[in-house]
Each structure stands twice: as C-alpha cells, then as structure tokens.
Amino acid sequence: MPLLSDRVAIVTGAGRGLGREEALALAAEGATVIVNDIGASLAGDGGDRSPADEVVRDIVKAGGKAVASYEDIASWDGARRTIELAYDTYGKLDILVNNAGVLRDRMSFNMSEDEFDLVMQVHCKGHFAMCRHAAARWREAAKSTGAVYGRVINTASEAGLLGSAGNSNYAMAKAAIAALTISIAREMGKYGVTSNFMAPRARTRMTESMPNNSMFAKPESGFDVFHPSWPAQLVVFLASEAAGDLNGQGFIVWGGEVDLVRGWHIVSKLETPGAGITAHDLIERKDELFGDQPRQPTYM
C-alpha cells in the first residue's frame, strides 16, 4: 500500500539534486507532485524550464501525476502562485517540501551585499513565503473541517546548526529555517499541520561546487552513502501518516544514518536572586558558569 495515496505535494527546487529525488520519492509513494523549479544556476541566475519539465516527465512515465511550476519561490507572489497552483489544479495541498536553495560562499570580510541578500532571499524569504501562503490556506480549511492534513518539511543545513566558516550568509539563513520550522510547528500544530526540518548530506551540484568535497564522491562500488535519494526517504516518512505525532523536530540525514537533533538549550546557570549580575561578577564566576563546557565552537 503506497504511503501517500491521494496526497498532493509541492517540492520547491525540485528540478535537480535533492529536490528532484524528493519529488520522485513522493510520487513513487502515490503523491501527486507540483514540481517547482526556477531553473537557476548554482549562483541563482537564469530561468531554465527543462529541469522541472524533465522531473514531471519522469514521474508521469513511472505512472504518477505531476505538474511543473517555474515560479521564483523567493518572491511573495511567486510563492503564493505556487500554493494556488496546487489548489487550482488538484483542489488541495497536503505536503509542502521547502528545498530550493542557492550558494554564494565567501568569507564574511569579502562578502558583497548582493551575495548576502540573494542567499537570505532564496532560503529565508523563500521558506517563509511558502509556509505563510500554505498556512493561510490550511487555517482557512481547518475552520470548516476542524483539522487538516498538513506537512511542512523544511531544508536546513549543518552549517545553520553549528555555524560554518566561508558561508556565514548561508549558515545564518539555514539557522533561520530551523527557527522558522519550530515557529510554524507552534502556530499550526492545532490545525493538524506538522513542521519539521532536515539537514541533509548528499552529492549534488551544490556539494560538488564546494572545496574539499571528496567525501561526497561516488564510490567505485558498493553502497553510495551520499546518493541524494537517501534524504528523500526521510522526507517521505515525515510526509506520511506515521509521522503525524512529530512536530517541531530536526534531523541530520544521509545514507545509512538519521540523527535526531535538538537546538539551543541551557547547560548551566549563574543565579543571584534579588541582585543583578555585573561584569565584575562574571569575571569572578566565569569558571562556575562554564565548568567543563567547551569555550570554543565545537562539532556535535
């Protein structure tokens, strides 16, 4: 029995890489898919319709249902029209996979305003605008039906969870996506909508463009641990009925491993009831606050 029969899904940036695999995997489980892709180069330029068209063709050839959308999800109206396409064509939306992304990597001291703005626009505004327009539709529907079936699956990155050198714009944007995911979870849970994020690792043109990327290389034989189809399986799971009790959660994923991650949390406290804590107090009691905790950025 397919996991997603009668479900309607949107995948943004689904013409290539991870989004393509997500669209194919959702369709293979019975979902009808809106394959959104602006057809951008890695740096965000251009407008090639063929990647989205080819994914639609592959889904239809395999017996599934899909339609292409070439909207720029980083624009408010482009995001709205993408959500409307699901309602106008199929009468509903059940699953929203926000995946579209671009890179403009540079050390912070060399980064231009345009490089900063584009990455914020596509990742932050793109994720937010899609969530915002879907949430409005779901809330409206829930008023008459009580609750809806809604799934938001956002795409963060380990860069956003841990910080990274050389792409602070991207790390900021991806951290914002983790926070957005939890905000949407808190706002929309009562209407039957869950919101979760994943931070994938996969071989795509994005990782192929990065320096020191040999870990992603396709092995000559055996298990292809970084094939982009593996994170897509987590997306299918989160989109399914079986994950209905998971809301506001985050995962790191690649072939052969899924990690559940938790965000910022209090690890130690200084408390001085009835009195303020001065800078001099902090100097004196620094070791009490930090104890054995690391004092420099660490890897998880």
Among 30, 39, 192, 255, binds ligand NAD (CB under 6 A): 39
Contacts of 94 (CB under 8 A, 6+ apart): 7, 8, 9, 31, 149, 150, 151, 239
In what helix (H) or strand (E) does residue 95 lie, and over which residues does it extend? strand 95-98
Burial class from Cβ neighbours inside 10 Å (0-12, 13-18, 19+) for residue 238 reads buried
16 lies in the binding site for ligand NAD (CB under 6 A): yes
- For the bound state, the minimum distance from the C-beta of residue 124 to ligand NAD, rounded and expressed in Å, comes to 11
Cα–Cα distance measured from residue 244 to residue 149, given in angstroms and rounded to the nearest whole number: 9
Cα–Cα distance measured from residue 84 to residue 42, given in angstroms and rounded to the nearest whole number: 27
- Which residue's Cβ lies closest to ligand NAD? 17
Residue with Cβ nearer ligand NAD (39 or 166): 39
Angle between helices 17-28 and 50-61 (to 10 degrees): 20
Phi first, then psi: give them for residue 41, nearest 5 degrees. Answer: -70, 170
268: left (phi over 0), alpha (psi -120 to 50) or beta: beta
Per-position x/- string for 150-189, each x denoting binding to ligand NAD as judged by CB under 6 A, each - no binding:
-----x-x--------------------------------
- For the bound state, the minimum distance from the C-beta of residue 29 to ligand NAD, rounded and expressed in Å, comes to 20
Residues 267-286, interacting with ligand NAD (CB under 6 A)? none
Q: Which residues are catalytic?
A: 157, 170, 174
Cα–Cα distance measured from residue 173 to residue 115, given in angstroms and rounded to the nearest whole number: 12
Among 207, 240, 247, 249, binds ligand NAD (CB under 6 A): 207
72 lies in the binding site for ligand NAD (CB under 6 A): yes
- For the bound state, the minimum distance from the C-beta of residue 262 to ligand NAD, rounded and expressed in Å, comes to 18
User: Side-chain half-sphere of 186: how many Cα atoms within 13 Å?
Assistant: 5
Residue with Cβ nearer ligand NAD (204 or 240): 204
Angle between helices 168-188 and 126-145 (to 10 degrees): 10
19 lies in the binding site for ligand NAD (CB under 6 A): yes
Residues 107-136, interacting with ligand NAD (CB under 6 A)? 122, 126
Residue with Cβ nearer ligand NAD (149 or 231): 231
Stretch that binds ligand NAD, among 142-150, 195-203, 258-266, 289-297 (CB under 6 A): 195-203
The residues binding ligand NAD (CB under 6 A) are 12-13, 15-19, 36-40, 42, 44, 51, 72-74, 99-102, 122, 126, 155, 157, 199-202, 204-207
